[in-house]
Amino acid sequence: MDSPLCLVTGSTGYLGGRLVPELLAAGYRVRCMARTPDKLRDHPWADRVEIARADALDPDAVRAALDGVTVAYYLIHALGTGADFGDTDRRTAQTFAAAAEDAGIARIVYLGGLGPADGSTARDSSPHLRSRAEVGEILLSSAVPTAVLRAAVIIGSGSASFEMLRYLTERLPVMVTPRWVTSRIQPIAVRDVLRYLVGCVELPADVDRAFDIGGPDVLTYESMMQRYAAVSGLRRRRVLPVPMLSPWLSSHWVGLITPVPGNLARPLVESLRSEVVCHEHDIARYVPDPPGGLTGFDRALELALTRIRDADVATRWSSAGTAGAPSDPLPTDPDWSGGSLYEDVREARVRATPEAMWSVIEGVGGDNGWYSWPLAWSIRGRLDRLVGGVGLRRGRRDPHRLRVGDSLDFWRVEEIVPGELLRLRAEMRLPGLAWLELTVRRDGDTTRFRQRALFHPRGLFGHAYWWSVLPFHGVVFGGMQRNMTKAAEHVERGDPAR
């Protein structure tokens, strides 16, 4: 008899990308639902799963994705997509619940947010928590038995909550803090979240309810920062409370200090205004605690930091698509709609092997930088964050390897052909669409490095933008090509220094 088929939505995101291999390891079959399946292509488990292309708001596509499914994981949320994220969450949940009923699946599993003890959507809750609670209610009101797991702060390498905690603590030995740092929080390790999610496959058919899930520690955010400092070997942080700092101001402060952009930081900060503590542990009746108990906060930090040091971060908060980012095809695609297209093309001969050149190409960005005029890149990143963009601080998931769908500073990997091609799509705020293509090829006894920047303007401002930055291309793109070429030649000689 075949094992249950599990549908994972949000499989290109932080938790979905980690849940898939856990389900496979437990012996379940997995189907991933994704709006852009190509983003899953380079995951190590991609050849072991079925993939269904579907937009979560398309009833017919969602219904087709649910065909033959036993358990469906609903890991979709519109966090950080703007003021109307609650409406988007509501509509996608209603679409999914109706499709699940029609498909006759056995169970829905949803990961929501931990809120008030009674699960209400009280006015003093954050919009984010209210939306999470509403989605849970929509799914629970369907005819499909549903398990809603409600978690507070998730601690794991690459999670938005962990990155926020990490950078605030590491970069601010003395910090002026808002009132929410005194709220009580019950964080949970990502490994325990995944354990509960996998365990929900075997829940009895009559279980149709919400469960609070959390780790063994209840802490204030201030104590979480102090414990992070202790675990990571930093000196104790000095905290100066300033009650008048609003969540809006706090989110901008978080966006300035951490890689988490303001549009994502704000709902996270607003959620911390309320006490987020478990009020029951009923899930243990169905998914018993492990023999050694749930993972403590300090141990969760140690595990996350080890993953980061070992460059073994499977997914990051930025794995999911960025709200408002362009998704149009590359202009050379057959179905490109036409219009103006500006190009900056540069080609050079490299006194190094294609393999050496490729190692530099694949290592671009993050801590390695962009090989030209660092101040200009830094200013462009800061300007992007000022207008609500992602800026440069997203960095890389892995310092050496890239895969399709990875975020890379304010770019996203659109295509990668190992040893030959890296194509990046811009996710900074622009009056148009932009790509950067880096290719290497062997030409007889010569290695050729080609760099191509493309820009498709939108409106008169888009054209004006291109011509205004054109005088800087020689310094930025010309310098980038020259320095990457030199770096490859250093690698060829066995000297990695640039």
Each residue of 349-393: pLDDT tens digit?
999 999 999 999 999 998 888 998 888 788 887 777 777 677 777
**pLDDT tens column, 301-339:** 999 888 887 767 777 655 655 444 444 455 544 344 445
Render each residue's pLDDT in the chain as its tens digit; 498 residues.
Answer: 689 999 999 988 889 999 999 999 999 999 999 988 888 888 889 999 999 999 999 999 999 999 999 999 999 886 554 556 678 889 999 999 999 999 999 999 999 988 755 444 444 566 767 888 899 999 999 999 999 999 988 999 888 888 888 888 888 787 777 777 888 899 999 999 999 999 999 999 999 999 999 999 999 988 998 999 999 888 888 887 776 666 566 666 666 677 676 666 666 776 777 788 999 999 999 999 998 899 999 999 999 888 887 767 777 655 655 444 444 455 544 344 445 688 899 999 999 999 999 999 999 998 888 998 888 788 887 777 777 677 777 778 888 889 888 888 888 898 899 999 999 998 888 888 899 999 999 988 889 999 999 998 888 888 888 999 888 888 889 999 999 999 999 998 887 554
Q: Which among 9, 22, 21 is positioned nearest to 196, based on CA atoms?
A: 22
What is the rounded distance in angstroms from the CA atom of residue 268 to the CA atom of residue 106? 32
Number of neighbouring beta carbons within 10 Å of residue 127 = 15
Which residues make Cβ contacts (< 8 Å) with residue 231, sequence separation at least 6?
298, 301, 302, 305
| Cα-Cα-Cα-Cα dihedral sign, residues 185, 189, 194, 196 | negative
C-alpha dist (Å) from residue 86 to 82, 89, 127, 456: 9, 5, 7, 32
Q: Which among 115, 198, 203, 109 is positioned nearest to 151, based on CA atoms?
A: 115
C-alpha dist (Å) from residue 483 to 52, 373, 448, 495: 42, 10, 14, 14
What is the rounded distance in angstroms from the CA atom of residue 5 to the CA atom of residue 459? 47
Half-sphere exposure of 155 (CA within 13 A, CB side): 30
What is the rounded distance in angstroms from the CA atom of residue 299 to the CA atom of residue 94? 38
Number of neighbouring beta carbons within 10 Å of residue 338 = 7
